[in-house]
Structure 1
Amino acid sequence: MSEKPHHVSTGRDVLHVIRRTAVKSWDDSIFAQSAQAAFWQVLSLPPLLLGILGSLTFVGPLFGPDTLPEIQERLLRVANSVFSKSVVAEIIEPTIIDIMRDGRGEVVSIGFVISLWAGSSAISSFVDSVVEAHDQTPLRHPVRQRFFALGLYVAALAMAVVTLPVIALGPKRIAGVVPDSWNGLLRYGYFPLLGIALVALVALLYRVSLPRPLPSHRLLIGALLAVTFFVIASLGLRFYLNWITRTGYTYGALATPIAFLLFAFMLGFAIVLGAELNAAIEERWPAGATHARQLREWLSPTNGSANASPEDSPEGC
């Protein structure tokens, strides 16, 4: 069964979707969910960096002696483009340096296993929010969902350990092969490619989080909104923090932790808002069954009776 055709959207349909997104976000307590996600992101940052950078101390040297310093430099460069200078200088950079120096031994300890559970807490909060936005909470047991989030986290760590050396060294090696006239394209194409990759990753998070997933292309609009909102919010936060620092009105010793919490809150808000938009679109224009679900139904022993009964037809998934 392919996706059901629907009428061409009108301005009234778009306004309805925007209104439903706002109502659903409020009903699902988007501010409370974002605050919860921010809390777990802050607690998960050291375990996350330990998992990635500690593992890279084993894998990185296989790509050459300059791999680890290049990865560290690129991570700090990306952090500086997202967070304020104080957050990078006082929280992120010292954590990265400490882990790069001492993380190798931590990876083979019991503490690393514990850090996997702690580090997956942020992913778990995102998964819970996405599932709730689509009203699919009853479809997966909470304990199973927590271990599902742990599996996602471990898979993401493994992917990061494999891809970070390639991302760090790839541009330099490509620049040494392609003609000099392409250097401008490589330089200015980095951030657009990064934006596309972020949208794809957020859409992937939306898809794998749902017990009854939607077709991938139906999740791209929410992912695009999430990335766009976070970029704009980050720029606004950086401007606000720079302005308030110049005026002399600061939070004293708490300024940097509060700034980091604000960035984490905006990230959580963006993820939840994108999920609510996807859910509102699904309400307005229900999608057909995904190819994976069609295949499962076709392979099911009860396929014949399921097709004969309208009660077992796909419910807008």
Structure 2
Amino acid sequence: MLDRMSDQTPKPSRHHIWRISLRTLSKSWDDSIFSESAQAGFWSALSLPPLLLGMLGSLAYVAPLFGQDTLPAIEKTIISTAHSFFSPSVVNEIIEPTIRDITANARGEVVSLGFLISLWAGSSAISSYVDAVVEAHDQTPLRHPVRQRFFALFLYVVMLVFVVATAPVAVVGPRKVSERIPASLANILHYGYYPALIVGLTLGVIILYRVALPVPLPTHRLVIGAVLATAVFLIATLGLRFYLTWITSTGYTYGALSTPIAFLLFAFFGGFAIMIGAELNAAIQEEWPAPATHAHRLRTWLRARTAAITGAAD
């Protein structure tokens, strides 16, 4: 009875919220959130071409199974989604030309050594995010750096397989459905695009927080940080879009460097959002420690049983 009561999280008060907020800011500063975000942003920018090469190169084989127009539709969807987050200059001068160039030779690149190298390079962004989440929860000593780098590569490959398997269905499915339903319902499906995009982004952050940690927290304890990360990223990108539009209208630009700098700023805010959400989850964990997950309890029990059997055999 006492154990059950101790597992229950007390109702948060204004004092708890204030203390958790201060602790989140303190941990963020101690973990050098700005330098970590800059590192994540740099690797995200550097990983974009190999990431697109891996995804579009694989889709070049899978997408035609769903129709000859599926791959162009996926390209159009990726570019349209990029317009939802990034400024027009970033999309038109960096993302869209990269997608067009990669798609032109995608099938040949998949069977080349460059594709294998792109898997390692493309996973660098995932690795930086995993490092940031693990550091925020003070679990860095629990996983060897080399093992963590290969773990990030594994996550990247899993993500790549998932995207290749679901992207054709995600693009073709709504289009087929909208052709067979009344116009009023089709409008609802159209207006539900952005809410679905936000929910999908939040779920992706939750999954990252869940799988990145050597000793993961229960999934429901990661929702608050994921919501904060999504909100920070959306607000930051929206503010950055307005700022870039304003600064361009004034005539003060960085010339040829303006678009790469803008893309790096978007990537920086992505890393910042991921890390601030992880820091909030870590601060909540310090305030109200969560019980171990069922998977962690099972692993602990199996290790104990294995040690007992080995000791008895000796």
How would you bin the TM-score normalised by the shorter chain?
A: over 0.9
> Aligned residue for 2:78?
75
User: Does 2:114 align with 1:111?
Assistant: yes
> Aligned residue for 2:149?
146
* Partner SS state of residue 105, structure 2: helix
Per-residue deviation at 1:300? 4.0
Rounded to whole Å, the distance in 1 between the matches of 2:260 and 2:157 is 27
Rounded to whole Å, the distance in 1 between the matches of 2:202 and 2:64 is 30
Which residue of 220, 224, 235 corresponds with 1:221? Answer: 224
Give matches, 1:7-86, under 5 Å.
Answer: 7-86=10-89
Per-residue deviation at 1:75? 0.7
* Partner SS state of residue 7, structure 1: coil
User: Does 2:85 align with 1:96?
Assistant: no
Give matches, 1:229-240, under 5 Å.
Answer: 229-240=232-243
Rounded to whole Å, the distance in 1 between the matches of 2:266 and 2:196 is 22
Gaps of 5+ in 1: 306-317
Gaps of 5+ in 2: 309-314
**Are the aligned partners of 1:297 and 1:303 in contact in 2 as well (CA < 8 Å)?**
no
Percent sequence identity over matched residues? 62
Amino acid in structure 2 at the alignment position of 1:28:
D
Large movers: runs of 4+ above 4 Å: none
Deviations 1:44-71 (A, max 9, x none): 0000000000111110100101101110
Q: TM-score, normalised by structure 2?
A: 0.94
* Partner SS state of residue 190, structure 2: helix
Per-residue deviation at 1:298? 3.7
Amino acid in structure 2 at the alignment position of 1:26:
W
Deviations 1:138-185 (A, max 9, x none): 000000000000000011011111111111111111112334331222
* Partner SS state of residue 280, structure 1: helix
Amino acid in structure 2 at the alignment position of 1:57:
A
The total of aligned residue pairs comes to 305
Rounded to whole Å, the distance in 2 between the matches of 1:43 and 1:300 is 40
> Aligned residue for 1:210?
213
* Partner SS state of residue 261, structure 1: helix
Rounded to whole Å, the distance in 2 between the matches of 1:301 and 1:129 is 31
Amino acid in structure 2 at the alignment position of 1:147:
F
Rounded to whole Å, the distance in 2 between the matches of 1:303 and 1:296 is 10
Amino acid in structure 1 at the alignment position of 2:224:
I
> Aligned residue for 2:276?
273
* Partner SS state of residue 289, structure 1: coil
Per-residue deviation at 1:295? 2.3
Per-residue deviation at 1:303? 8.7
Q: Which moved more, 1:176-185 or 1:104-113?
A: 176-185
Give matches, 1:119-138, under 5 Å.
Answer: 119-138=122-141
Amino acid in structure 2 at the alignment position of 1:114:
I
